[in-house]
Amino acid sequence: MNLFKHSLIITCLSTSLLLTSASQAKQAEVELIHWWNQPGEIDGLNVIKRAVEARGAKFIETRVPSWEKLRSSIISRITSGYAPAATQWLVDEDIFELRSINALEPLPTLLNGNAIKDILLDEVYREVTSKDELLSLPVGIHIQNHTLYNTKIYTELSLPLPTSWEQVLAQAPLIKQAGYVPLAVSNELWQFDILFNAIMMEQLGFARFQQLYQKHQSMKHLREPFIKSMSIFRKLKILSDPEQPYRDWARSARMVGKQQVAMQVMGDFAKAELTNMDLTAGKEFLCSLSPGSNGNMIYAIDSFMMLNVDEPHLQQGQKILLDAALDNEVQIHYSLKKGSIPVTKVAPDKLDVCSRKSYQLWLNTEKKISTFLGVSNPLRSSFFQTMLNKAWYQNDMTSAQLIDELIEIDESTLKTKHRRQGRASLH
């Protein structure tokens, strides 16, 4: 009996040691939720995936249909105590709020002995840090007032790339007469937002555009340039094609690549769809800031937000993801596939002609504004999108009436907020 007990104890101890060893040896894992679903976007993510796997980690991804659904899913999982290890995130004020409730895991300030502050571009570093804590891992900068052009169409018709919206409208009849669609537009409301922002940049100029998405800032003084912008936006509708209501932004981009459409106003991520078609920037298609931008850049930063997790293999995966994503060679190849510009300091000549132009402009201008999808003021952005949807699909209101309705709704919201703040201050 004693021998049996002795053998049983040894067996149990051996099993326990084996289980402990197996647990300790569990492969590092990057668990990432994201909303990159189009072929070009997936090409970009695969660059990071391969870099993660080359560093010995498993890469597990979950795709969701949209930014809005990703955001609500992440908030829900954090609330229920089941946060993922990492999620794609557009850099916004939420990262600071999530840190305040200890949902985020601040990232190391050093990477391979180098200060991350010195690795990242200055503006990028400032946007993802608070009190010297790195709150999200930036992976790419996307320029939003960006336009793709089909080279053959403009060459065939001897047309210069337009530098104003007036020139876009003037060239449109020639393009239509030649059998091409002048402008590719998709059916997403946020795409209308991008297009209208590009128009407003011309009408407002940098200083006034900068005020546009500031919270608690009235828009009444912008009524006249808003009306001019709306007038241009409505004229653009006739430049699109009958299939526009049934097409997403990626299909619109591919129409440029197929020589069906002259131009598309979209974030530079649309370029990835053309690269995925084996087309070359500067050859089959051209890029520039949108007409009327005058060197001003509207941008968004894609990032991976690391959330608090307890499992060692997931924590190790977070470290590997950081190392992989900020590797300069990974940044270059990711940017070439994804259409973005790097968040790190790289040699511009390693980028394609489109990314190089944007990257060099980024380094040499202070006129940069982060407003993609209204992340700085999502409520106001939703008001714009509702108005733009009416303007595009309905014809029962003038441009002035649409703008007046927009301003009235926005003013009502501002007054409600002020009343609430006033009552709160009394307590």
If asked whether residues 269 and 166 sit together in one domain, one would say: yes
Give the percent of the chain with pLDDT over 90: 76
**Is 18 domain-assigned?**
no
Is there a single domain that holds both residue 394 and residue 280?
A: yes
Task: Name which of 217-226, 283-292, 366-375, 415-424 the model is least confident about.
Answer: 415-424
Number of folded domains in the chain?
Answer: 2
Regarding whether 173 and 54 lie in a shared domain, the answer is: no
Binned at pLDDT 50, 70 and 90, residue 3 comes out as very low
Please tell me whether residues 156 and 106 are part of one structural domain.
no
Residue 58 lies in a domain: yes
Q: Is the distance from CB of 165 to CB of 145 less than 8 angstroms?
A: no
Can you tell me the distance from the alpha carbon of 375 to that of 37, in angstroms, rounded to the nearest whole number? 20
What's the Cα-to-Cα distance from 122 to each of 65, 130, 307, 362, 375, rounded to whole Å?
32, 14, 24, 11, 20
Residue 174 has pLDDT above 90, yes or no: yes
In terms of C-beta distances under 8 Å and separation of at least 24 residues, what long-range contacts does 242-246 make, across chains too?
A: 244/185, 244/186, 244/187, 245/187, 245/393, 246/187
Shared-domain flag, residues 158 and 307: no
Contacts from 219-225 at CB under 8 Å and sequence distance 24+?
A: 219/380, 219/406, 219/407, 219/410, 220/407, 220/411, 223/403, 223/404, 223/407, 225/200
CATH number of the domain bearing residue 81: 3.40.190.10
| Same domain membership, residue 275 and residue 254 | yes
Domain extent, residue 124, equals 27-142+301-364
Question: What is the average per-residue pLDDT within 215-226?
Answer: 91
Q: Band of the pLDDT at 15, cuts 50, 70, 90? A: very low
pTM over 0.85? The answer is: yes
Q: Are residues 305 and 282 located together in one domain of the fold?
A: no
Both 314 and 278 in a single domain? no
**Residue 13 vs residues 2, 23, 26, 52: alpha-carbon distances, Å:** 16, 15, 20, 35
Whether 134 and 150 share a structural domain: no
Tell me, yes or no, whether 410 lies in a domain.
yes
Q: 334, 364, 394 — which closes off a domain?
A: 364
Do 266 and 223 lie in a common domain? yes
Radius of gyration (C-alpha) of the chain in whole angstroms:
25
Residue 287 CB partners (closer than 8 Å, separation 6+): 146, 147, 148, 149, 268, 271, 281, 353, 354, 357, 358
Which of 364, 391, 407 terminates a domain? The answer is 364
Predicted confidence at residue 239, as pLDDT, reads 92
* Residue 264 scores a pLDDT above 50: yes
Is 16 contained in some domain?
no
